[in-house]
Amino acid sequence: MSSAFDPEEPIAATASAPGPGLRGIVRVSGPGAWRIALDGFEPDREFPTPTRSVVVSGRYRLPGLRPFLPADVALWPAPRTYTGQELAEIHAPGSPPLLGLLLAHCLAQGARPAQPGEFTLRAFLSGRLDLTRAEAVLGVIDARDDRRLEAALEQLAGGVAGPIEALRDRLLDLLAHLEADLDFVDEADVDPIGRVALADRLAREAEALDALTDRLGRRDRAEGNPRVVLVGPPNAGKSRLFNALLGGDHAIVSPLAGTTRDYLSGPCACDGLVVDLVDTAGIEAAVDAIAAEAQGLRASEAERADVLLACASADAPAVDLPVDDDRALMVWTKADRAGPPLGEEAAWIVTSASTGMGIDALRRALAAAIRGREGDHAATGTSARCRDSLIGAAAAIRDAADVMRAEAGDELIAFELRTALDDLGKVTGAVVADDVLDRIFARFCIGK
């Protein structure tokens, strides 16, 4: 790690969400964390040096603060803490200036401001957290909807880390046996049945690994294709546009307003990207239970969208369109009949599903909007990187099994097993390059 990340330096940061809240937290980790947090703190009662976690109530008397600031200080002794280090948290009223004052006080006492993700990085470095879990923490922080949150929480619960460690142990055992045999190669009396059984066992390990890879991939899949949702007044031509973009007759199109009730979705290729395109019911006041249901579905689809295609046409004017939503692209439909109002042309992507006019331009605009949004998530794909390593490990294990069946030399088998172990090690973080770590942890928020 670069010296900027020296784990022997105490670090501090506001750990609660930015902005005013009921309670705010300042977190301090590293050697001297308790001393730093307790400076200027008057506990309600004296307390002995904690040997396990304690919460002490009291007040801070700080320069520039009168008369005093009520607060609780939580203290955790190393090493059984989140970061594996001495840890303190100051819980105070969540006013940003007060928290700023407390943080400044901690910095004045010798703490350094924490880098984004540095608490989690310390947890990882101290062996409290493996890479798959660190990524899951990141997933929880990043989670933009329930699906993603659930996948990240499952990963955090150790869904993949435990089984990968167990597999590494078994492969290490096997490798140790093979290498012991290598030393006694003259006496080695090859037992063909034992070899076949071993090859089968390896093949089963490779299958188990495939299943794990699939589980690890779930977070990526939950992140999935970007969701692009068609919204607009009834009869705006959303369903016909949906069909034109997907190619085929998927959604029912009719001149009757209120045709679409359910929502439909399908994969749509846009300029090198694949998005999940979603057709929804027209925006209207619900007159019955089915309409209410349709409006509910529309609203929830619109909410989880990455991009909204806000549609309007001459016969379905732009009322209630999400014009101020920064996810929205304004799409003028049925341009073969009538174009957008004079003076407004520049605001619209002008299309006609019946002539195909503007459909390609719409695809390009859509892809550009998604690429722009993904700018903030440029470093995504860390779990994809883990997945590559798992796929590499499974391939090496299968190769080892093949070599074994072919009765080739033990050296070749050992080589494949070492490759597999290396790949697995990358996933659990036993072997991992510093720059990869820096990249992962830089994506965390400060205070995490």
Ligand X SMILES: Nc1nc2c(ncn2[C@@H]2O[C@H](COP(=O)(O)OP(=O)(O)OP(=O)(O)O)[C@@H](O)[C@H]2O)c(=O)[nH]1
Could you list the residues that contact ligand X (CB under 6 A)?
234-240, 253-255, 257-260, 281-282, 333-334, 336-337, 352-354
Nearest to 264 by CA among 286, 279, 253: 279
Nearest residue to ligand X, scored by beta-carbon proximity = 282
Nearest to 358 by CA among 245, 205, 191: 245
- The residue among 240 and 398 lying less far from ligand X, judged by its C-beta, is 240
d(CA 281, CA 265): 12
- The residue among 120 and 260 lying less far from Mg ion, judged by its C-beta, is 260
Smallest separation, CB 349 to Mg ion (Å): 19
- The residue among 10 and 282 lying less far from ligand X, judged by its C-beta, is 282
- The residue among 196 and 297 lying less far from ligand X, judged by its C-beta, is 297
- The residue among 168 and 238 lying less far from Mg ion, judged by its C-beta, is 238
- The residue among 204 and 337 lying less far from ligand X, judged by its C-beta, is 337
Q: Is residue 309 a contact partner of residue 331, using CB atoms and an 8 Å limit?
A: yes
- The residue among 164 and 312 lying less far from ligand X, judged by its C-beta, is 312
Smallest separation, CB 269 to ligand X (Å): 20
Smallest separation, CB 259 to ligand X (Å): 4
**Binding-site string for Mg ion from residue 182 to residue 221, where x marks contact by CB under 5 A and - marks none:** ----------------------------------------
Smallest separation, CB 315 to Mg ion (Å): 14
Q: Which of 115, 225, 259, 354 binds Mg ion (CB under 5 A)?
A: 259
d(CA 274, CA 120): 33
Q: Is residue 105 a contact partner of residue 62, using CB atoms and an 8 Å limit?
A: yes
- The residue among 26 and 353 lying less far from ligand X, judged by its C-beta, is 353
Smallest separation, CB 279 to Mg ion (Å): 6
- The residue among 314 and 368 lying less far from ligand X, judged by its C-beta, is 314
Smallest separation, CB 373 to ligand X (Å): 25
Q: Bridge partners of 23?
A: 93
Smallest separation, CB 334 to ligand X (Å): 4
Q: Are strands 227-231 and 307-312 parallel, antiparallel or unpaired?
A: parallel
Smallest separation, CB 338 to ligand X (Å): 9
Q: Which of 81, 239, 243, 428 binds Mg ion (CB under 5 A)?
A: 239
Residue 128: contacted member of ligand X, Mg ion, none (CB under 5 to 8 Å, by partner type) = none
Residue 236: contacted member of ligand X, Mg ion, none (CB under 5 to 8 Å, by partner type) = ligand X
Which range in 254-262, 298-306, 364-372, 390-398 contacts Mg ion by CB under 5 A?
Answer: 254-262
Smallest separation, CB 304 to ligand X (Å): 19
Per CB under 5 A, does 260 bind Mg ion? Answer: yes
Which range in 233-241, 333-341, 355-363, 431-439 contacts Mg ion by CB under 5 A?
Answer: 233-241
Residue 354: contacted member of Mg ion, ligand X, none (CB under 5 to 8 Å, by partner type) = ligand X
- The residue among 21 and 258 lying less far from ligand X, judged by its C-beta, is 258
CA atoms within 13 A on the CB side of 433: 6
Which range in 115-123, 257-265, 334-342, 431-439 contacts Mg ion by CB under 5 A?
Answer: 257-265
Smallest separation, CB 399 to ligand X (Å): 53
Residue 240: contacted member of ligand X, Mg ion, none (CB under 5 to 8 Å, by partner type) = ligand X
User: At CA 390, angle to CA 385 and CA 394, rounded to 5?
Assistant: 150
**Site for Mg ion, rule CB under 5 A:** 239, 259-260
